Structure 1
Amino acid sequence: MYHPNRPIVSSRDLDRIEALLDATPERTLPGKGALIEELDRADIRAPHEMPPDVVTMNSTVRFAMAVPPKEFCLKLVYPEDADGTDRLSVLTPVGSALLGLAVGDAIEWPKPRGGMLRVDVLEVVAQPEREAYSP
């Protein structure tokens, strides 16, 4: 996995994701170790301190994947809210890769069956974490 910048994660998201990870066995979540590594090196901030161009939980994000070349616009959600259409669970490889990235960032993330996927963040369309604190 390579990403030159530290991911930025809100303290609220961190608490909930760590609880999810504690309750999820490694065998059912192959990318668990990679997500834990990213969270361990993350810049943790209060929700109201989140930059508006960073992907947080419940953000709608436009991103591209290199192989196959395709663009997506999805909402990053907790597993129980993923509906298979326009919502992406944070516990999927792409969801884990997106968390904490800013517009213009790219990351390579391990695929469950080997190899790497590349994700490029193009736009944070909506970020409720920050918007909830707007004056």
Structure 2
Amino acid sequence: MHSTVSYLDHASGQNRTVTLVLPHEADIDQGRLSVTAPAGAALLGLSAGDVFSWRGDDGRVHELTVLRVSDPATAARP
């Protein structure tokens, strides 16, 4: 929880960074993505270099490549 994930959205070609949070903390405009959202749930447990795809509500296939994962628990260690 509270890991920060940077990924490449293949459809838009844009890099994006989000922090995975509990539903009550979510605010996508602030870069906080709920772990219960489809993309948030899909990002759980992935590592840099992993690729995943899913079919959105609009019927389009979305594909993302994880670029970096920062875990706050290990980042604080010396």
TMscore range, shorter length: 0.7 to 0.9
Q: Which residue of 2 aligns with 1:95?
A: 40
In 2, Cα distance between equivalents of 1:120 and 1:132: 22
Q: Which residue of 1 aligns with 2:17?
A: 73
Matched, 1:131 2:74: yes
Opposite residue 58 of structure 1, the aligned amino acid is H
Query: Which protein is richer in helix relative to its size?
Result: 1
Change (3 A) 1:133 1:73: closer
Q: Which of 49, 52, 64 does residue 119 from structure 1 map onto?
A: 64
TM-score w.r.t. structure 1 length?
A: 0.50
**Identity of aligned pairs, percent?**
39
Q: Which residue of 2 aligns with 1:86?
A: 31
List per-residue Cα deviations over 1:43-90 (Å, max 9, x = no partner): xxxxxxxxxxxxxx2101111111122111110111111123121111
Query: Which protein is richer in strand relative to its size?
Result: 2
Coordinate RMSD, CA, aligned: 2.1
Query: Which of these two proteins has the greater Rg computed from alpha carbons?
Result: 1
Q: Which residue of 2 aligns with 1:59?
A: 3
Unpaired stretches in structure 1, ≥5 consecutive residues: 1-56
TM-score w.r.t. structure 2 length?
A: 0.81
